[in-house]
Chain A
Amino acid sequence: MTDMESDRISCLPDDVIDQILSLLPIKDAGRTSVLSSEWRKKWLTLSNLVFDSQCVSSASSEDPSVSKIKFLKIIDNVLLLHSGPINKVKISAGYDLIDMNSVADIDRWILHLTKRSIKKLVLDFWLDEPYKIPWCLFSCQSLHCLKLYWCSLKPPMKFEGFRNLKSLYLEQVTMTQDTFEKLISGSPLLEKLILWDHNGFTQINIHAPNIKFVQIMGKFEDTSFDNTLRLAKPVVDQTSQSKSHGCSSNLVKFFDHLPNIEMLVIISYFIKYLFADIVPVKLPTPCINLTFFSICINFNDLKEISAVLCLLNSSPNLQAFTISARLEEHADHLTPVSYCWEDIFLEPIIPLKLQRVKILDISGTKSELDFIRFILLYSPVLEQMTVKPVLNVTSELMTELIRFRRVSGQAEVIYLAKDSS
């Protein structure tokens, strides 16, 4: 190293030190407090804190209660000595570090953090019962981002939402419908919502004017989107069928509030819910921005096939889709359903602009083949169709596919055998 270089290196700008410190695991960052008084100051004002198993290096023979005490002490030590606002805290630990005995401590830490203007909080631990979020968190208006796993939310009556919340992730969280709605509609800046396997309510109503991204996976009876004009990419996975048949026109309700939808992903049973009524030939308003969708359907249910055709007729700018065949619980997929081609596979009422299509997990039934035949027949600009069977259906399927007339001169049909990816 030349003299010039070593001079340059020794004056490390402040923001550079901050950047490095924020990326070091807490254990290594803690050691830097010994470097010099300057670094000690920096350590004490570190604003992103991640407490996880990396903090505690325990010998495998160590008594688990000792590791738990260590973990607790570290978090106490850091939070107590720390000064200044705290930007982000993540507590991510298994049962070896946090158990039901730690609940009072967790409550205490959260109370402390609410007083330090915390912006992003991640609680990732799994106790015997869902962790009850303490009331102090519900009045913490500095929150921008909240990520909770296996918790229960029971806010006080006066809870009205989080004014500054932009991103919300809830996995296996228990709450009432009322709490969920207050949370969503009372957080006007909310842009991103991920709801996985919620508990405690079956009707998901989303009133969120700024929301751009929604992902829902779980069991529910009914869903509605209201005033969600900016939502472009909903992902809905309804993991079990609605018991009630819902009100009519679930479909219109759904698409009406999503005029700017660009991409749609619906998995498992949601399509059954949407098209609970008579399936129209096309939707009342076309989805002009929709360029891609991904759907699971039961090819043995003619209504669901008609539902896909309805979507195709309503999306003038659709470029690609992926369809996966869904096996119903009652294995009725073995008995072929009978129909006339003319009744189901009507010529599309708008020209299809499909370029890429994927059809997955099929078993080679008549309705599946007819659907493929239909797509090849009516997609003049098709470039690629990928077909992947679920069983190692023999070359008969392949022969059939090659036989089908393709209207697009450049269409490539790719058949993926079971062992290829």
Chain B
Amino acid sequence: MAQEASSSTSSKTISLKTGDGEIFEIEASAAKQMKTVQRLIDDLGDDITIPLHNVFSKELPKIIEYYKKDITGEITKDFEAEFVKDLNDDEVKVLFLAANYLDANKLFEFLSQNIADRLESKSVEYVRKYFGVENDFTPEEESKLREERAWSFRGIKEDE
């Protein structure tokens, strides 16, 4: 079981259990930034391990890392750039969805901007695959729509 080192005795830590059964510790002040976690704490008490069914051991440490930096009040643009530098588009998406589930506003906003930046000038097919969107237009409907929006397709390389 992976365990983060406990912080000092003066600040309270909360135990979080991921969907795949691993346990992580965060400080109570960091937990407050994640509204879903805080709601669970309010309902279940802060001595119980909080279960997070939709968050997994792959992404939780990274989220904890972000909020650890946040409670010291030091999140700079440089830190954020570094934070996403080595993540591929799918990894960012997973983090982003976790932040949404946890109702962790600051991280959610930061990652949504990052995803929007990554999607700029990408083809329709890429975005479809990225979000797993099923195309429910007929080929005729689609080509008509593309014509209507011709201005937004100018200069974009499609991969189909």
Tell me which residues from 1 to 23 in chain A have a Cβ below 8 Å from any Cβ of chain B. Answer: 1, 5-6, 8-10, 12-13, 16-17, 19-20, 23
Asked if B149 lies at the interface with its beta carbon under 8 angstroms from chain A, I say: yes
Contact B149 A25 (CB under 8 A): no
Contacts of A73 in B (CB 8 A): 151
In the bound assembly, the distance between CA atoms of A25 and B113 in angstroms comes to 11
Contact flag A34-B146 (CB < 8 Å), given A1-B90, A24-B119 = yes
Nearest to A8 among chain B residues (CB) is B97
Contact B151 A74 (CB under 8 A): yes
Contact B151 A27 (CB under 8 A): yes
Contact of A28 among B108, B113, B120, B145 (CB under 8 A): B120
Contact of B145 among A5, A23, A24, A33 (CB under 8 A): A33
In the bound assembly, the distance between CA atoms of A19 and B54 in angstroms comes to 20
Asked if B2 lies at the interface with its beta carbon under 8 angstroms from chain A, I say: no
Interface of A is mostly: helix
Asked if B142 lies at the interface with its beta carbon under 8 angstroms from chain A, I say: yes
In the bound assembly, the distance between CA atoms of A19 and B148 in angstroms comes to 24
Asked if B155 lies at the interface with its beta carbon under 8 angstroms from chain A, I say: yes
Interface size for A (C-beta < 8 A) is: 37
Nearest to A12 among chain B residues (CB) is B131
Asked if B116 lies at the interface with its beta carbon under 8 angstroms from chain A, I say: yes
**Distance (whole angstroms) from the CB of B82 to the closest CB of chain A:** 21
Contact A20 B136 (CB under 8 A): no
Contact of B132 among A12, A24, A27, A56 (CB under 8 A): A12
Asked if A205 lies at the interface with its beta carbon under 8 angstroms from chain B, I say: no
Contact of A31 among B100, B124, B136 (CB under 8 A): B124
Contacts of A29 in B (CB 8 A): 152
Contact of B149 among A9, A10, A13, A31 (CB under 8 A): A31
Asked if A322 lies at the interface with its beta carbon under 8 angstroms from chain B, I say: no
Contact B151 A34 (CB under 8 A): no
Contacts of A340 in B (CB 8 A): none
Contact A5 B112 (CB under 8 A): no
**Distance (whole angstroms) from the CB of A126 to the closest CB of chain B:** 24
In the bound assembly, the distance between CA atoms of A56 and B153 in angstroms comes to 10
In the bound assembly, the distance between CA atoms of A253 and B148 in angstroms comes to 61
Contacts of A57 in B (CB 8 A): 154-155
Contact flag A34-B145 (CB < 8 Å), given A20-B112, A28-B121 = yes
Nearest to A17 among chain B residues (CB) is B131
**Distance (whole angstroms) from the CB of B132 to the closest CB of chain A:** 3
Contact of A40 among B113, B119, B145 (CB under 8 A): B145
Contact A39 B133 (CB under 8 A): yes
Contact A32 B94 (CB under 8 A): no
Asked if B84 lies at the interface with its beta carbon under 8 angstroms from chain A, I say: no
Asked if B47 lies at the interface with its beta carbon under 8 angstroms from chain A, I say: no
In the bound assembly, the distance between CA atoms of A6 and B93 in angstroms comes to 11
In the bound assembly, the distance between CA atoms of A6 and B116 in angstroms comes to 20
**Distance (whole angstroms) from the CB of B121 to the closest CB of chain A:** 7
Asked if B23 lies at the interface with its beta carbon under 8 angstroms from chain A, I say: no
Asked if B128 lies at the interface with its beta carbon under 8 angstroms from chain A, I say: yes
Asked if A101 lies at the interface with its beta carbon under 8 angstroms from chain B, I say: no
Asked if A399 lies at the interface with its beta carbon under 8 angstroms from chain B, I say: no
Contact B135 A36 (CB under 8 A): yes
Contact flag A16-B97 (CB < 8 Å), given A6-B132, A37-B137 = yes
**Distance (whole angstroms) from the CB of B25 to the closest CB of chain A:** 24
Contact flag A35-B124 (CB < 8 Å), given A12-B131, A20-B119 = yes
Asked if B156 lies at the interface with its beta carbon under 8 angstroms from chain A, I say: yes
Asked if A68 lies at the interface with its beta carbon under 8 angstroms from chain B, I say: no
Contact A34 B124 (CB under 8 A): yes
Contacts of B149 in A (CB 8 A): 30-31, 33-34, 77
Contacts of A30 in B (CB 8 A): 149, 151-152
Tell me which residues from 91 to 126 in chain B have a Cβ below 8 Å from any Cβ of chain A. Answer: 93-94, 96-97, 100, 108-109, 112-113, 115-116, 119-122, 124
Nearest to A19 among chain B residues (CB) is B112
Contacts of B153 in A (CB 8 A): 31
Nearest 7 pairs between A and B by C-beta? A30-B152, A10-B132, A23-B116, A57-B155, A19-B112, A27-B152, A35-B133
A-B contact pairs, 30 of them (CB 8 A): A8-B54, A9-B131, A9-B132, A10-B132, A12-B97, A16-B100, A17-B131, A20-B112, A20-B115, A26-B152, A27-B151, A28-B116, A28-B119, A28-B120, A28-B121, A32-B127, A34-B137, A34-B145, A34-B146, A35-B124, A35-B127, A35-B131, A35-B133, A35-B135, A36-B137, A56-B151, A57-B155, A70-B151, A77-B148, A77-B151
New contact pairs (20) apart from A1-B90, A32-B124, A37-B137, CB-CB < 8 Å:
A9-B97, A9-B131, A10-B131, A12-B132, A16-B100, A17-B131, A20-B112, A23-B116, A25-B120, A27-B151, A30-B152, A33-B145, A34-B142, A35-B124, A35-B127, A35-B133, A36-B136, A38-B133, A77-B148, A77-B149
Using a CB–CB cutoff of 8 Å, the interface residues on chain B facing chain A are: 54, 90, 93-94, 96-97, 100, 108-109, 112-113, 115-116, 119-122, 124, 127-128, 131-137, 142, 145-146, 148-149, 151-156
Using a CB–CB cutoff of 8 Å, the interface residues on chain A facing chain B are: 1, 5-6, 8-10, 12-13, 16-17, 19-20, 23-40, 55-57, 70, 73-74, 77
